[in-house]
Amino acid sequence: MADPSPLLPVSNSLEPNYSPVPEGPVSAGCPATHLRRSKKVLIAVFSGLFVVSLILATINNNNGARHVQYHSQEDEDATLVTPKEMAKPETLSPAGSRGVSAGVSEKANVNLKVAQVKDYPWNNSMLSWQRTAFHFQPEDNWMNGPLYYKGWYHFFYQYNPHAAVWGDIVWGHAVSKDLIHWLHLPLAMVADKWYDKNGVWTGSATILPDGKIVMLYTGSTNESVQVQNLAYPADHDDPLLLKWVKYSGNPVLVPPPGIGAKDFRDPTTAWKTSEGKWRIIIGSKINKTGIALVYDTEDFINYELLSGILHGVPKTGMWECVDFYPVSKTGQNGLDTSVNGPQVKHVVKTSLDDDRHDYYALGTYADKVGKWYPDNPEIDVGIGIRYDYGIFYASKTFYDQSKGRRVLWGWIGESDSEVADVKKGWASLQGIPRTVVLDTKTGSNLLQWPVEEVESLRLKGKNFNDIEVKAGSVVPLELDGATQLDIVAEFELDRKAIERTAESNVEFSCSTNGGASHRGALGPFGLLVLADDDLSEYTPVYFFVAKGNNGSLKTFFCTDQSRSSVANDVRKEIYGSYVPVLEGEKLSVRILVDHSIIESFAQGGRTCITSRVYPTTAIYGAARLFLFNNATEAGVTSSLKIWNMNSAFIRPYSNEQQ
519 and 556 in a single domain? The answer is yes
pLDDT value, residue 145: 73
Residue 77 predicted with pLDDT over 70: no
Examine the domain organization and report whether 401 and 513 are in the same domain. no
Q: Which residue has the higher pLDDT, 285 or 548?
A: 285
Report if residue 78 sits inside a domain.
no
Flag whether 69 is in a domain: no
- Per the domain annotation, does 442 fall within a domain? no
> What pLDDT shows up at residue 408?
97
What gap in Å lies between CA 644 and CA 80, rounded to an integer? 61
Residue 391 covered by a domain: yes
Residue 476 has pLDDT above 70, yes or no: yes
Q: Of all residues in the chain, what percent carry a pLDDT higher than 70?
A: 80
Nearest to 545 by CA among 576, 512, 578: 578
Total residues belonging to the chain? 658
Query: Based on the domain organization, do 150 and 260 belong to the same domain?
Result: no
Neighbours of 395 (CB within 10 A): 22
Output the furthest CA–CA distance in the chain (Å, rounded).
84
Regarding whether 599 and 581 lie in a shared domain, the answer is: yes
**Residue 78, pLDDT score:** 25
CATH number at residue 509: 2.60.120.560
Sign of CA dihedral 199, 406, 391, 389: positive
In a domain, 149, yes or no: yes
- Report whether pLDDT(27) > 80: no
User: Where in the sequence is the domain holding 538, given as residue range(s)?
Assistant: 458-645
Q: Is the pLDDT of residue 652 over 60?
A: yes
Do 519 and 405 lie in one domain? The reply is no
462 and 516 housed in the same domain: yes
pLDDT in tens, 308-367: 999 999 999 999 999 999 999 999 999 999 999 999 999 999 999 999 999 999 999 999
Kindly tell me if the per-residue pLDDT of 559 is higher than 70: yes
Chain segment 522-534, per-residue pLDDT in tens: 999 999 999 999 9
Residues 234 and 260 in one domain: no
Same domain, 546 and 592: yes
Average pLDDT over residues 411-433: 90
| Of 609, 241, 605, the residue nearest 451 (C-alpha) | 605
pLDDT at 42 over 80: no
- Looking at 412, 437, 471, the residue that finishes a domain is 412
Q: Is residue 501 situated within a structural domain?
A: yes
Task: Output the CA angle 546-548-549, nearest 5 degrees.
Answer: 155
| Amino acid 209: pLDDT | 94
Q: Which of 201, 229, 246 is the last residue of a domain?
A: 246
Report the C-alpha gap between 626 and 623 in whole angstroms: 10
Global pTM value = 0.85
- Shared domain check, 261 and 218: no
278 and 232, same structural domain? Answer: no
User: What's the pLDDT score for residue 40?
Assistant: 33
Q: Integer distance in angstroms from the first to the last C-alpha of the chain? A: 16
Residues 491 and 636 in one domain: yes
Q: Considering the domain boundaries, does residue 28 fall inside one?
A: no
CB burial string 430-464: b at 16+ within 10 A, e below:
bbbbbbbbbbeeeebbbbbbbbebbeebeeeeeeb
Question: Is the pLDDT reported for residue 180 higher than 80?
Answer: yes
Question: How big is the chain by its Cα radius of gyration, in Å?
Answer: 25
195, 223, 246: which is the final residue of a domain? 246
Q: Are 321 and 364 part of one and the same domain?
A: yes
Q: Residue 324: in which H helix or E strand, if any?
A: strand 319-328
Q: Is the pLDDT of residue 477 over 70?
A: yes
Strand partners, 231: 215, 246
Would residue 18 count as lying in a domain? no
Which of 234, 237, 253 minimizes the C-alpha distance to 245? 234
- Residue 42 DSSP symbol: H
Average per-residue pLDDT for the chain: 84
Domain count, the chain: 3
Mean pLDDT across 71-94: 27
**Nearest C-alpha neighbor of 373 from the set 432, 422, 310:** 310
Which domain CATH number covers 318? 2.115.10.20
Query: Which of 313, 320, 328 shows the shortest CA–CA distance to 356?
Result: 320
